[in-house]
Amino acid sequence: MIYLDYAATTPMSDHSLNIYMKAAKNAFGNSSSLHDIGDIAARTLQASKKLIANMIGGNEKRLYFTGSGSEANILAIQSLLNGIHPSKNHIITTQIEHSSLYTFFKRLQTEGFEVSFLKPNKHGQISIEDVINKIKDHTGLVSIQHGNSELGVIQQIEEIGLCLKKQGILFHSDCVQTFGKLPIHVEKGYVDAISISSHKIYGPKGIGAAYIDSSAYWRPVIPGTTHESGFRPGTVDVPAAAAFAAAAKDISDKMNEHTKHYLELRSQFIHAIKPYKDKLILLNENSEHILPNILPVIVNGIEGQYLMLECNRYGFAISTGSACQVGMQAPPRSLLALGIDEQKAKQYIRISLGEQTKAKELESFTRTLINIIEHF
């Protein structure tokens, strides 16, 4: 089986797995315990936080481990909302956020919050003007993802963040898809909080992190919590944190190398499908603001679900969108937000590349995809 679904999850790297096993043996204590074994775990946890915080230009004391990127999203938003005045109950977000946040914001609407869902342009971009036009006197928080997992679109969070900082409005960004793939600097990016995840960067599943800048006041979702400075209850998974940090360091060191690799593969794919432009449409083919490892494709006349199953039959793992929405009959929400009709949106498939993806594997996949289309 050739794996082409890296945007959904990645396999653990050998280094990350080795670090996990070493930490599980040597730093198994509860990091909150006061004895020496607990101290070993605490120091391992501290070193892991420092390594990850350094990657984003932050302070390790502001980094809080969570059970996933989705949980990091929800805890970061709710903690920030708990810290602002109740009158600041207007939130600005987008129609193309990850399902963990989109559904959470929908719930907040039933709890007295006013939420504005910004519609992207036809390329999936959210402009600064769009954000400014929605700001009200009672706007307290804006949340805009850095990179979309289905479209591969990158938002200009630095420019948006600078504008919001000047107005004293809190800014959160879901950086789960971009962490380790794009440079992120929490201070230069003018973000108050970001969310990241381990299993997107060849680390273990079941651990993510939220970073909240010292300038942003927050209050715990569950009062009385002692772990992670009150941010999240429960004993911290120190081995997973150490493995997360190892994976983060490795992917950071190879960021430029990976980008070059993905751009070459993307160019190869574009060239290969050029004779089939009437059937295969690569969304945002000419856009600069994209994650090059995500190839969102619409195949005219064939449903993505059928193509995904056929590709699987031939030994290729691809997807029809975010793994967090698998099982839902509706087409990807991000495509509908672009103005693509429902029938066309159901003809979408996503190919996502990883560091292990070889040119010959992508070539083999492309030939298979074309063969399936020609014999449909």
Average pLDDT of span 115-140: 96
Task: Note the pLDDT of residue 248.
Answer: 98
Report, as an integer, the average pLDDT of 173-200. Answer: 95
pLDDT of residue 287: 86
Q: Report the amino acid identity of residue 213.
A: D
pLDDT in tens, 68-80: 999 999 999 999 9
SS (H, E, C) the chain: CEECECCCCCCCCHHHHHHHHHHHHHCCCCCCCCCHHHHHHHHHHHHHHHHHHHHCCCCHHHEEEECCHHHHHHHHHHHHHHHCCCCCCEEEEECCCCHHHHHHHHHHHCCCCEEEEECCCCCCCCCHHHHHHHCCCCEEEEECCCECCCCCEECCHHHHHHHHHHHCCEEEEECCCCECCECCCCCCCCCCEEEEECCCCCCCCCCEEEEECCCCCCCCCCCCCCHHHHCCCCCCCHHHHHHHHHHHHHHHHCHHHHHHHHHHHHHHHHHHHHHHCCCEEECCCCCCCECCCEEEEEECCCCHHHHHHHHHHCCEECECCCHHHCCCCCCCHHHHHCCCCHHHHCCEEEEECCCCCCHHHHHHHHHHHHHHHHCC
Q: Is the pTM for the entire model greater than 0.85?
A: yes
Query: Mean pLDDT across the stretch 12-40?
Result: 93
How high is the pLDDT of residue 33? 83
Q: What is the structure's pLDDT at 188?
A: 83
Residue 34: what pLDDT? 84
Q: Which CATH architecture has domain 14-253?
A: 3-Layer(aba) Sandwich (3.40)
Catalytic residues: 324
What's the pLDDT tens digit per position in 55-69? 999 999 999 999 999
| Cβ atoms < 10 Å from Cβ of 278 | 8
Residue 189, pLDDT above cutoff 90: no
Report the pLDDT value the prediction gives residue 368, as an integer from 0 to 100: 97
CATH 3.90.1150.10: which residues of the chain? 2-9+254-374
pLDDT at 177: 98
When pLDDT is averaged across residues 126-142 and rounded to a whole number, the result is: 96
- The contacts of residue 148 (CB under 8 Å, 6+ apart) are 96, 124, 177, 334
Q: Name the pLDDT band for 286 (thresholds 50, 70, 90).
A: confident
pLDDT at res. 31: 87
Would you state the CATH architecture of domain 2-9+254-374?
Answer: Alpha-Beta Complex (3.90)
Indicate the pLDDT class of residue 36, thresholds 50, 70 and 90: confident
* Averaged pLDDT, 156-179: 96
Per-residue pLDDT, averaged over 204-230, amounts to 94
Taking residues 277-299, what's their average pLDDT?
94
Measured in Å, how far apart are the chain's first and last C-alpha atoms? 22
Please give the pLDDT value at position 376: 87
Q: How confident is the model at residue 48 (pLDDT cuts 50, 70, 90)?
A: very high
Predicted pLDDT of residue 324: 56
The residue with greater pLDDT, 363 or 323, is 363
Domain with CATH 3.40.640.10 in the chain: 14-253
CB 132 within 8 A of CB 118: no
In this prediction, residues 128-156 reach a mean pLDDT of 97
pLDDT computed for residue 356 by the predictor: 96
Please give the mean pLDDT across all residues of the chain: 95
Measured CA to CA, the distance from residue 77 to residue 100 in angstroms comes to 11
- pLDDT tens for residues 240-267? 999 999 999 999 999 999 999 999 999 9
Taking only the tens place, the pLDDT of each residue in 325-354 is 555 567 899 999 999 999 999 999 999 999
At 366, the pLDDT band (50, 70, 90 cuts) reads very high
